A and B are shown apart, each in its own frame.
Chain A
């Protein structure tokens, strides 16, 4: 079975620009979550998608938005990039709620905002 794949692996953007990150969930997983991991920190929950609907959100502003597609893949969009958005963005998938099953993470997209 394939795991979670993310693209691109690295990205450099200028402050004020917009960016789209992509994630393909593990086969059989219908729930996708996105996390932001700043350097030297633990990942922070951005939001979660289940059956193409956002069903939970962390403490991130509305310029962070997302989509989930019928094949359960997902996108994270960030508008009006700020320098503090520089981080590793991780996608995680799970078969339904992750409480009992855990989450499978991708290798992440390293975003640098200059």
Chain B
């Protein structure tokens, strides 16, 4: 079945450091790929998405490129801020029967310090 593997956290960075969170996936079809962010005590917010190979999703300084050849969708940001501290989930969307469902990784906690 489908699966998503993320690098384990927590990741601790100083403000303005470069961020990479690795994500690889296994899927039988041609999934769409997503990054979601979860702030403490809240639900998930869509950060960015890519729907086909070589697409680059971007939002709020975060970027990720859909790499079909390496089955990866790594999240990057050039300069993190304290406000970026949260848990980041990589996910893929594929069909199970007639439904589209999200399969998530286990999440990577990011902590940014001054």
Contacts and interface: CB of A to CB of B under 8 A. Distances in A.
Interface in B61-85: none
Given A43-B44, A107-B42, A107-B43, A99 B94 contact: yes
Interface stretch (A11-19, A48-56, A72-80): A48-56
Contacts, number: 84
A46 to B, nearest CB: 9
A50 to B, nearest CB: 7
Nearest to A97: B100
Contacts of B49: 102
Interface residues of A, number: 32
A104 interface: yes
Given A42-B106, A90-B44, A100 B32 contact: yes
Interface in B44-59: 44-46, 49, 51
Interface of B: 4, 31-32, 34, 36, 42-46, 49, 51, 89, 91, 93-107
Interface of A: 4, 6, 31, 33, 35, 40-45, 47-48, 50, 55-58, 90, 92, 94, 97-100, 102-108
